[in-house]
A and B are shown apart, each in its own frame.
Chain A
Amino acid sequence: MFQPESEAMERSALEALQVDRLRTTLERVYSAVPLYRQKFDEAGVRPADIQSLDDLRRLPFTVKDDLRAAYPYGMFAVPLRDIVRVHASSGTTGQITVVGYTKGDVDRWADLMARTLASAGATADDIIQVSYGYGLFTGGLGVHYGSERLGATTIPISGGNTKRQVQVLKDFGVTGLGATPSYALLIGETALEMGIDPRELPLRFGVFGAEPWSENMRRQIEETLGIVAIDIYGLSEVLGPGVASECLHKNGLHVNEDHFIIEIIDPDTLEPVPDGEMGEVVFTTITKEGIPVIRYRTRDISRIVPGECPCGRTFRRMQRVSGRTDDMLIIRGVNVFPSQIEQVLTGIPGVAPHYQVVLTKRGVMDHVEVHVEVAPEIAFDEVKALEALRRTVAQEIASALAISIDVKLVEPKSIQRSEGKAKRVVDLRNEGGTA
């Protein structure tokens, strides 16, 4: 642990610290950011009303559109002369959002990223290649500052020029890699094409994030590169990388709770759900100065992993992000995100990541049938292999969604493609769609 005095803090002390820091943050944003003052006033809540973590739910949410509307500096809580760095995220809809960091923010960020690297097993003796992009994107500089803070030898290679990445990886004796998971895999494949087996290099670990990836992809990366692959999480609106990170137990990402309060809410009712239940991840920053966010709705779907982690960190863990709120279903009372199905399918050879969920009623019970296309590039000549494939798909989907389902294999390209949002769900439950 890089900061055991914080990372392994007693829960009661941690919660007291959270309340204290939350109240300071609320006072500051209420006086410095007109949008927060307006939102709080409309909700009829004053910073002084918030006395405990339970009171958090009385506060209004912040959403991505608030940040877009405030472009570029409208939500900064300090004068620009105190901002030493800006980053920005593009977002899919065009309008970029800008975030600012004070000297103190950059300093704390370096600590949090040093924690992240340390939780992947890194020490000052490591040589870390930072293959995340440097620039407005937070990934490159985030890992860079963390690596330097840890005292590791830092190679700021940024993304791109994959052959040179491999050369540096080999020649510089790199032991740790930071990259998006898909880029890590490309580096591994490029190495093999160049006749270099990455498993024979000193490379030992990698911290991967900034895009969704699956357990199957983790296995692939770990096998190709011969390393331990750690999932890291962050978003520029909250900080960048360094919000949460797996430890070597790889069972959920420890949230840096002394800097961020995590809530999981039901995206329909907007009420917090108990630990263990899936919902939308909401963060409140409690140490950020440049651009604090209050109850920021990430649209990412996750849950709190219940129980304590054997690593000794007391910070609660969020499960690997499994989807976005855009398309939630409620089946037999369970919140289900069809994007989870896609994630499962991408990890199974033999099926295409095209699917359709058909919901009907069997008696009073919801019945779920998932139609999955067999992959056209795989030769299917054996019934046995297809039956095994169907069972695998059914088991993997059922375990990802935590509900039982039936799987029907369908012909390649038989599920309708759509230009815009794919029609992933056919809900016949209220149309006499009984079976």
Chain B
Amino acid sequence: MVEQVSVFLENTAGRLAQLTRVLGDAGINMRALMVADTSEFGVVRIICDTPRRAAEVLDRAGFGASLTEVLAVEVPDRPGGLADVLDALQSEGINVEYAYCFVEPSGGNAVDILRVEDPQRARLALERAGIRLVDGSDLYQVD
């Protein structure tokens, strides 16, 4: 499992810019950022080098930040990479709440972040399908 920083944001002009500035000023480097939004609010999900510190820094700056445990898997950066992962979950009847991906600059592999209903069952299903799970320590300093 890896820790994702989740932030509830109102849809107001400049709010996302403020958030990223707070992280930048604290020297926190983001690996991935994904925004899910409605007309009134958004949820920002961040994978970064120091998630706990990021959540603290954001809290102090007045953002409602929290840590969410998500699954991360490594797949070859090729067509069908994510489809294999989702098939493995689908065949076990495990629902995916959301997913997003980023590419590791060094390795050439992609990292898929998955939020599922039942992480324990999902882990087993992925391991059975021979898909490599990524730990927090592979992505960031465990702080």
Contact = CB atoms under 8 A, between A and B. Distances in A.
A binds B: yes
A379 B41 contact: no
B29 interface: no
Interface in B57-74: 59, 62-64, 66-68, 70
B139 interface: no
B63 A381 contact: no
Given A387-B38, A409-B40, A380 B63 contact: no
A374 B8 contact: yes
A383 B66 contact: no
B50 interface: no
Contacts of B6: 379-381
Nearest to B15: A411
A387 B40 CA distance: 10
Contact of A380 (B8, B62, B97): B8
B36 A383 contact: yes
Contacts of A381: 4, 6, 43, 45, 66, 68, 70, 98, 115
A413 B36 CA distance: 22
Interface in A346-395: 374, 376-384, 386-387
B1 interface: no
Interface residues of A, number: 19
Nearest to A384: B97
Contacts of B70: 381
A382 B66 CA distance: 12
Contact of B9 (A377, A387, A411, A413): A411
A410 B64 CA distance: 10
Main secondary structure of the interface of A (DSSP, over half): loop
Contacts of B115: 381-382
A51 interface: no
Contact of B43 (A378, A382, A408, A413): A382
Interface in A388-433: 408-414
Contact of A412 (B4, B8, B38): B8
A386 B97 contact: no
B67 A379 contact: yes
Interface in B1-37: 4, 6, 8-10, 36-37
A376 B67 CA distance: 11
Interface residues of B, number: 24
Interface in A33-78: none
A380 B43 contact: yes
A411 B63 contact: yes
B38 A378 contact: no
Contact of B8 (A384, A386, A387): A386
A177 B105 CA distance: 65
Nearest to A382: B97
B38 A411 contact: no
Nearest to B38: A383
Nearest to B42: A383
Contacts of A386: 8, 38, 41, 43
Given A376-B64, A379-B66, A379-B67, A408 B36 contact: no
Contact of A376 (B4, B59, B68, B98): B59
Contacts of A382: 36, 43, 97-98, 115
A42 B55 CA distance: 66
A387 B38 CA distance: 9
B96 to A, nearest CB: 11
Contacts of B43: 380-383, 386
Nearest to B4: A381
Contacts of B68: 379, 381
Contacts of A412: 8, 64
Which residue, B37, B43, B67, B115, has most C-beta atoms of chain A within 10 A?
Answer: B43
Contacts of B9: 411
19 contacts: A374-B8, A376-B59, A376-B64, A380-B8, A380-B43, A380-B66, A382-B43, A382-B97, A382-B115, A383-B36, A383-B37, A383-B38, A383-B42, A386-B43, A409-B10, A411-B8, A411-B64, A412-B64, A414-B10
Closest 10 CB pairs of A and B: A381-B6, A379-B66, A412-B64, A381-B68, A383-B36, A380-B8, A379-B68, A376-B64, A411-B64, A374-B8
Given A376-B59, A411-B62, 17 more contacts: A376-B66, A379-B6, A379-B67, A380-B64, A381-B68, A381-B115, A382-B36, A382-B97, A383-B36, A383-B37, A383-B38, A384-B97, A387-B38, A411-B8, A411-B9, A411-B10, A411-B64
Interface of A: 374, 376-384, 386-387, 408-414
